[in-house]
């Protein structure tokens, strides 16, 4: 059984949106130190509900990796390629969605995928570590 709680969601939103500066948001995909500084700031509020160092480290490290390398776009690519393998080349874009997909749509879908990735990893780390 996997347990996700409202406090996990609220801490995720606090760390990823409220505590993230504009500088972090702009540069975290370009500079590794910015991505991991953002991940550190993001992880600190989780100390309120988690006393497991391994869980906190997993939350920190995976957050830095996901944001630095924009891993959500690869999840989108794989998802879309599996759904439409005949047109796999059209998904080899910066977003994992075809160029014909409106920017607002692919942008929001990436934000949703990114949030789901963080929330699932956080929940697994907190519950099992």
State pLDDT tens for residues 68-118: 999 999 999 999 988 887 787 888 888 999 888 999 999 999 999 999 999
Where exactly are the structural domains of the chain? 6-128
* Nearest alpha-carbon partner for 17 in 115, 108, 96: 115
Cβ atoms of 16 and 116 closer than 8 Å? no
- 97: tokens are 């969605």
pTM of the model: 0.92
Share of the chain above pLDDT 70, in %: 98
pLDDT bracket for residue 4 (50, 70, 90):
confident
Q: Go through the chain and tell me how many residues it has.
A: 129
């Amino acid at each position: 059984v996997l347990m996700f709680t409202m406090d996990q969601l609220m801490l995720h939103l606090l760390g990823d949106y409220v505590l993230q500066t504009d500088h972090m948001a702009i540069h975290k995909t370009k500079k590794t130190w910015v991505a991991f500084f953002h991940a550190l700031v993001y992880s600190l509020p989780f100390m309120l509900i988690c006393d497991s160092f391994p869980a906190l480290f997993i939350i920190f490290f995976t957050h830095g990796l996901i944001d630095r390398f924009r891993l959500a776009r690869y999840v989108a690519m794989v998802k879309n390629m599996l759904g439409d393998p005949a047109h796999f080349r059209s998904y080899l874009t910066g977003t994992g969605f075809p160029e014909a997909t409106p920017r607002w749509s692919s942008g929001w879908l990436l934000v949703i995928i990114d949030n789901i990735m963080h929330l699932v990893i956080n929940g697994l780390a907190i519950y099992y570590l």
